[in-house]
Amino acid sequence: MIQDILPARFYNHYEEQTPGASDFAILFSEGKILVSYNQDKQILYFPTYGDFSFQELSATYLFSIDNQKYFLMPEKAELRVKLSDFSFFTPRQLRDLPLAPEAKSSLFAVFSAYHLWKWYDDNKFCGHCGKPLLHDTVERALYCPECKSKIYPRINPAVIIGILNQKKDKILITKYRTGYAHSALVAGFTEFGETLEQTVEREVMEEVGLKVRNIRYYKSQPWALAQDILAGFFCEVDGDETIKMDEGELRYAEWVSRKDVELQPNDYSLTNEMMKLFKTGGI
């Protein structure tokens, strides 16, 4: 999955730091990140803080991967390097590029940086009194100097659901009405007052009109594109197996045998890992 970057290690502990010239500089503009993609090597490159023409530009420490630090640059930062060396990509565009195994940590860095950039960008003013928010110096937080409110990074809980039909040895595969075009599983966000298991029951009923039983947890994954923490569950259809698809949400929902499961084009998602586990007989 996207976070499986070993032997590299991801460190998200926050400390107020000053960037050095060789630290990576993350620049977003309208949801796109500035990177260079080497098609021959299938590797992503980030500009460094030293590539920016004004060294006094403020930069916010994001995280480290091994000994490499990543800093978020202000959106109007000016580059000294030739703009032709770098281009703006959406994280989804970078997800679809062929990448060498050693570049996987770079893609995870893109996703993680997007999560924090989106949070910072969405929280410039206090939601309680409207005053500009400031960066906390001791933890990953924003605070209001006026009313003392404190805001932490947003993380949305959501579930991925592998629904099994044991009588026919099939799994329920879906495709979304809009957005991602490849095979998927039933999924949805946890609502207030719900347990994750209750989210599973509700989302399955809403999207495909089925009751389920034997709900069991499989694995979790951070998914920064939607600021999510995904929890994967397997369960079994309970009783009537007739699919009643929510056509506003999905354009495809069918029971699919193991050999006919079409996997996604890359191995980044929890959804794909769960489909692959069924296809290969792991569950």
Instruction: Please state the domain extents for the chain.
Output: 10-122, 124-153, 156-279
Equal fold, 10-122 vs 156-279: yes
pLDDT tens digits, one per residue of 59-90: 999 999 999 999 999 987 877 777 778 999 99
pLDDT band for position 271 (cuts 50, 70, 90): very high
Say if residues 225 and 91 touch (Cβ distance below 8 Å). Answer: yes
Give whole-number Cα distances, 212 to 41, 88, 199, 254, in Å: 46, 44, 12, 16
Phi, psi of 171 (to 5 degrees): -125, 150
* 92-110 tens-digit pLDDT: 999 999 999 989 999 999 9
The two tokens of residue 64 are: 């480290």
User: What's the pLDDT band for 26 if we cut at 50, 70, 90?
Assistant: very high
Q: Residue 74 to residues 50, 60, 126: CA-CA distances in angstroms? A: 14, 9, 20
| The token pair that represents 50 in the structure block | 């030293």
Higher-confidence position of 53 and 65 = 65
Q: What CATH number should be reported for the domain whose range is 156-279?
A: 3.90.79.10
**Residue among 254, 257, 236 at smallest CA distance from 244:** 254
Q: Give yes or no for residue 56 having a pLDDT over 70.
A: no
pLDDT digits (tens, 9 = 90+) for 139-186: 999 999 999 999 999 999 999 999 999 999 999 999 998 877 799 999
Query: How much is the pLDDT for 85?
Result: 83
Residue range 10-122, CATH number: 3.90.79
In tens, the pLDDT along 216-236 reads: 999 999 999 999 999 999 999
Retrieve residue 13's tokens: 């502990």
| pLDDT value, residue 55 | 59
Residue 58 is predicted with a pLDDT of: 84
pLDDT on residue 256: 97
